[in-house]
Every structure is written in structure tokens, then in C-alpha cells.
Structure 1
């Protein structure tokens, strides 16, 4: 079936025409890449480096959020009561400990568990170097953390004043005997913590945050000996477990109402659901700390660097194929066709460079996590975000690179 010059092609014919043009553009873009494969490999390596840089910055940024909630994730509670002067979990300030019976009397509250957190000085037992270390004091009858290591026997050992557990993620400069990590070899070691002897009776696995490179777990009585300025009248956090069937938001509302009804300093405490507390902790580390802002800026810088690399690659490619593009313009191919061809080419470059960049990022994540002791993981969010940024980066660079070609007349390009 044919169409006369004045007759519009049918829908099926028009669709076939569009498919042919798409194949032509793809074939031309692929021919440009495969014709000079050495240049193409170099281009893929350059764009892959930019993609890898984005993955690394996002990985570091993600580790900030992951480590921010390492303690909160192990707290089996529904509502958190904390000081209005709370800064972060290792600098929680203080609230009154006598709030516990008042809050326990609320029908919706099943249990109120105290937790002391502070940072003090640890002296390396090997070389006597001082280090800042986080200390967490728990009620041994109602532990604030869900840890398999807190067996009845271990809690009995922690009843002895000065007995502590050390986090096996504590860094090597705190002095483990094997020089790698704290373990069974260190049980029985006596170290000085703020000038007070502390005996290691075991280890636990929780993970340290960016605010502390090491952590100890002990009874509240030992905590008061190891951390200056602490007393039995004050506590860092109150962890509230609600009765079955009570929603976290309703429980938080009831606790806040009881605190507001109390007169004087007792009412000076804030309440959050555990989910909101985690979100607030992550948000603070992302937006209010230098380390979070540095990594966020690093992501933006990686996109800019990647855009510059992509532009240099595509501009060089346009220059190398200038005569071919000029021939196409002389044959009557419009500017839209040339733009779509170059965008197809830039999309192909980003698509080919993406998989090896993911593999390289996974390898570097594993190496960095092992060496730095900070968890860095690949997430679906990072994969989608970097894929989108890579396509935008390469296509934006392609549009900038083709400006000269768009403005030029075919005769001037030969």
C-alpha cells in the first residue's frame, strides 16, 4: 500500500517510520562508539570514574545515617523521654530519675527503663595513651538494650563494681591484646577509665558511632564511678515500653500529658516515639554536623566532576565526527535528529559504564568497611539515584557539547 504526496500515512505506517528513525539513530550512535573503540573504552572509564565517585560519597553519607541510630536500633522501647537540651545520643544531657514512678503509673505504660550514657577517658592498657570512650550504664534487672551477650551469668558478673563489657567494634588504638579487636583474650584485663580501675569481663556486639570510637557497657553503679558528673538522681534517657495494643503515638501523647501536668523541673522533658527519635538523629547528623554536610557536598561535587568529564568526552567525540555530522546536515537531517543521536550516544556511554562502576563500588565498600570499621552498604536507593544522576549528567553534557554543531552551517564544518 502506498500513499500519495498529499496523503498522511496511516497510523501503522507512521509507527514503522518512527521505529526506523529510532533504529537509524541508535545504529549511528553505536557506530560512533564502536568505530574508535579505544576512545570509547577511555570514555567509559572516565564516566565510570565519575559514577564510582558518586557511589563512594553516597556510601559515606549513608554510613553517617546508619551509625547515627546504632544504639537506638537496639533499644526495645516504644517511646523515648529525653532532656530538651538533648544534642545526640552520646550527649543526651540529663533528666530527673524520679520521673519513673510517675510515668509507670500511666495505664498505657508497661515499663520505664533508665539508661545512662556518657563519654569519658579510657587509658590504653598497652601504651597508656588516653582515648575518649562512650560508657552506657544499664539497670541489670531491666537492660535497656537487646543483646544476646547479656545473659544472666554476664549480668551477675556486672554486679561487681568496676566490671565492664567492651564493644568488639572498639578501634585497635584502645589496646586489644591481639592488636586487631577485643575478644576473649582481653577478659580479665584491668584498664583505667577516668582514673578508676575497670575490669573487662566480656565483650558485646553493637557497633560504635561516628561520635565515639569505642564503647563500654556496665551497671548504673559502675557508670557513676567511671563518668564524672553523674548521679543516681539523674538519668540520660527513659525508655518506655507500652502495654499491648497501645499505639506509639497514643502512648507518646499520654506520657507528654503526664509530664506537662507535673510542676517544676520535672516537666522539662521531651517525648518522641522511637521512630521519630531515629529520624531526628539521622537528620541531625546529615544536616547539623560537619561530617554529614561534607559528604552531602561531596555527592554534589561528584555530579559536577562527572558532568565535566562527560562534557570533555562528548565534546571531543563531536569534534572527531564533525564531518560526518556536517554531511548529515547537508543531506537534510534536522537539528532534532542530531540532538537525539548524541543523546542516544551519551545514554549508551552511561549505561555501559554503570555496571562495572557498581562492581567497583561494592568492592571498595567492603574494603573501606573492613579497614575503617564503619558499615558502608549498597542500597536500592543509591542504585536508582546514581543511575538517574548518571543519565542526567551525560545527557546534559551532550546537549552542551553539541551547541557548536547546532549553530554551524554545513559548509562551514568541512
Structure 2
């Protein structure tokens, strides 16, 4: 058995060498398919990662949201602050802090174009973001009309970011539906969070400046952020808070909130569905390339297989042979695909300001997809080999 296995390995390598220059074309086609899978996986990872930047940065054990809440990607529906105050009275709830968020537009002071952005607000004395730059700037957020701009916002914000990095305060006019005149905001510094697929950038304000600029009453919360006592069970406290608030609000643990945001972007947004479909298409295309390569090798070596079968080699030997050829082709194309993907990630990440990281998780996922490509191709190739019985050549 070991001798047969070793022989099948040597034969697989020899048959690939025998193909010659055509092997380059085979590798190129499969490499394109693998890079396509890498691209789809990278886009999906960037989609989810960007959507979770803000939820992961919020300091809370439990989250309260309005009954119609679905995602933070847009302006969350408000709920009454009194509900958060009721939740604060629940045993094992240590603290409750208000959080405000709205999607609006600021006017670019250099070309007059509108820039969509998320505006985040909270009480400076009770911070809710676990970001060092925000913590350092808390005293300055109390100043009238002061705001911080995300330094990782997209290119249309770059003229403003460049001047802020040089110490120049920037003044922007907002397009606020609740104000008669366009309110003016003073951007005094930067912090780092990152955009997502829906919003180009974000600003941080104090709650009072949020009210001044957008005329939104402060008793209308976007989220209520609860901290529980050390050692308390988040799920039990969540159930207790939910029982008190009833159907007037939704209550999530931190893990549930993050998972909900991730699932929303993957399963309920067009871009998430398209990327998932693209991933499947990439695997299918790769399987077709591998299958065509195996078909070609089988056709070229059908007489050799006839001799081997006449010598007593059984189906398992030929299955092992075809499988090893598929693995060699897949791995041979996978290695250069990593280098090509790293370059693509760098270019796309720079253009979109999203995080495209060639992590071990992505490499492992795509390698698994490559093995699936090969497995699908092997199934069809073995069926072809059985249909074209090499013994017929001796008839």
C-alpha cells in the first residue's frame, strides 16, 4: 500500500511536468480564481470589520435601543431617556450613559461639496468610547461647537485632516434639517476609528453641542449604554432589564449587539449578499479550471492508466493519483496568489480607507476554499476516468 501511494505521488508530479508550458496556463487560470476568492473574502472582512469599528469601541456591557432598531449603520430610531433611567434602577446595573448618533452632511469648505458623516455624541464627563485620542480630548469637547474628526475618514475629508494635523482649527457648516440657518462647527482635533461602507467619515461632539447643532432634544437617545456590577452575569441582567422595559425598547448584551451588526451587514444588505454570492462564484470558477486541467491530464495519459489497470492497480490508486494532481495544482497556484492578493489589498485599502488585512483567518478560509475547488473537480474527474475505462484500449 505504501509503495503504491509513493508511486502515485511520483506519477502525479511526473505527469504535471510532462504538460510543459501548458502548466503555466493551468496555474494562471486557477490563480485568477483564487485571487477572486481572496478579493471577495477581503471585501467581506472589510465590510464586517468597518461595520463593527464603532460597536466594538463602545464601553458597555448591555445596550438599550429603540423597538424599531436594526443597525447603527444609519441614524438609529430614538427612544425616551426615561427608559434608560428605569434600567439604571435594576439590580446589578452599575451605571447607565446616554449615546447619540445621527447621519448628516457637512459642507466641504474648499470645494463646497456635501460630505456625508456620522455624528456621535455623549456627555464628556461620562465618556463611552474606548479610544485614547478621545479620552485626551474630553476637556476640549466641552467648548462651544467643538468637534473631533475621524483621521481615517475618506479622501474628501483629507484637506481638512491635513490642516488639522498642522494645528489649524477648521470650521464647517452643517446641513441640519432642524435649523433655520446652517450651523457652524469647529473641528479642533482628530481621533482614529475608520469609515464603513455607508458613511465616509465621522465626528464626535459633546451632548450639548449635539443639541445646539442639530436641535435634537437630549431626552431622545440613540442608545443607552449600561455597565453592570463586576461578576454579574450579562445575560441574567439583560433579561431583568428587558422585563422592566417590555416592548418599549430592545436590550442586548455586548456580544449580541456586535453579532447583530455583523449579521445585518452580511445577510440584510445588498453588498453583503453580493459578496457572499461572489465568494461562491469564485469557488465554482476555480473548480472548473481544476476540473479542466484534470480532464486534460486524464486524456493525455489514458494509455498509461490502461497499462496500470492491467497490472492490477485498482480504483483507489487512480483516485489517489487524481487527488494528488489536484492538490499540487491548487497549492502551486495558491502560493503566488497570496502575493498578488497582498498588492490588491494594499491598493484597495488605500483607495477606500477600509482595513484590508491578509490575516491568517482569511488565508485559512481561502485555502479551505481551494481544497473545496479541488475536491469538486476530483469528483467529476474520477467519474470521467471510470466512464473512459482504459481497458477498452486493449479491446
Question: Do both proteins adopt the same fold according to a TM-score greater than 0.5, normalized to the shorter chain?
Answer: yes
Structure 1 residues 408 and 103: CA distance shift in structure 2, 3 A: closer
Aligned length: 387
Q: CA deviation at 1:318?
A: 1.9
Alignment CA distance shift 1:30-1:209 (3 Å): same
What residue number does 1:50 align with?
33
Shift of 1:303: 0.6
Secondary structure of 2:355 counterpart: coil
**Change over 3 Å in CA distance of 1:182–1:61 after alignment to 2:** farther
Q: 1:321-348, CA deviations, whole angstroms, 9 ceiling, x for partnerless residues?
A: 2332333344443444323212221122
Map of 1:209 onto structure 2: 196
Structure 1 segment 87-126 matched on structure 2, within 5 A: 87-89=70-72, 90-126=74-110
Quick one: structure 1 residues 406 and 103, their matched pair in 2 at CA, closer, same or farther if it must change by over 3 Å? Answer: closer
Q: CA deviation at 1:171?
A: 1.2
- 1:342 equivalent to 2:325? Answer no
Change over 3 Å in CA distance of 1:151–1:307 after alignment to 2: closer
292-301 or 355-364, which deviates more: 355-364
Unaligned 5+ segments in structure 2 are 176-181
**C-alpha deviations, 1:255-303, integer Å up to 9, x for none?**
223223xxxxxx6011110111000110011000001111100100101
Structure 1 residue ranges, 4+ long, deviating more than 4 angstroms after superposition = 411-414
* 8 A Cα contact 2:290 2:329, kept in partner: no
Pick aligned residue for 1:25 from 1, 5, 8: 8
Match status 1:239 vs 2:195: no
Matches within 5 A, 1:378-397: 378-397=358-377
The residue number in structure 2 matching 1:223 is 210
SS in 2 for 1:338: helix
Q: Secondary structure at the match of 1:27?
A: helix
C-alpha distance in structure 1 between counterparts of 2:34 and 2:140, whole Å: 51
Work out whether residues 167 and 182 of structure 1, in 8 Å CA contact, stay in contact via their aligned partners in 2: no
Bigger Rg, structure 1 or 2: 1
- Asked if the contact 1:164/1:216 (under 8 Å) is kept, the reply is yes
| TM-score normalized with structure 1 length | 0.87
Compute the displacement of 1:177 (Å). Answer: 4.4
Other-structure match for 1:190: 171
Note the C-alpha offset of 1:313.
1.8
| 1:175 shift after superposition | 5.2
Tell me the equivalent position of 1:310.
290
TM superposition shift of 1:183: 3.7
Matched residue of 1:98: which SS?
A: helix
Query: In the alignment, which residue of structure 1 is the partner of 2:244?
Result: 258
- CA distance in structure 2 between the partners assigned to 1:308 and 1:168 by the alignment: 44
